[in-house]
Amino acid sequence: MNVPIPRAELYNGFLEKNKNQSKFMTPHRFKKKMLSWCEYHKAQYNPQVFDKFGRPSADDKRGGVEYFTIANERY
């Protein structure tokens, strides 16, 4: 928590622990599930990222890599 982690690293780690999910869980679906998990547990998803209008944005892409940051109240 509270640390940006590359999306591919999280996704690959998930597939390593859940090998039978590889044909059902696409990277896009994985992201949607992460967003739902954060909403359910009242965690913030990428709280440090804002769009050009100053609104929170779901995408944290830097240098061609997408990052996920799941933050609690201490972030």
Q: 44, exposed or middle or buried, with CB in 10 Å at 0-12, 13-18, 19+?
A: middle
pTM for this structure? Answer: 0.81
What are the residues whose beta carbons fall under 8 Å from the beta carbon of 28, sequence distance 6 or more?
Answer: none
Q: Quick one: which of 66, 12, 55, 11 has its CA closest to 34?
A: 11
Phi, psi of 16 (to 5 degrees): -65, -40
Q: Domain segments of the chain: what residues?
A: 5-71
d(CA 42, CA 62): 25
Stretch 5-14: mean pLDDT, rounded?
95
pLDDT at 13: 96
- State pLDDT tens for residues 16-65: 999 999 999 999 999 999 999 999 999 989 888 887 888 777 788 899 99
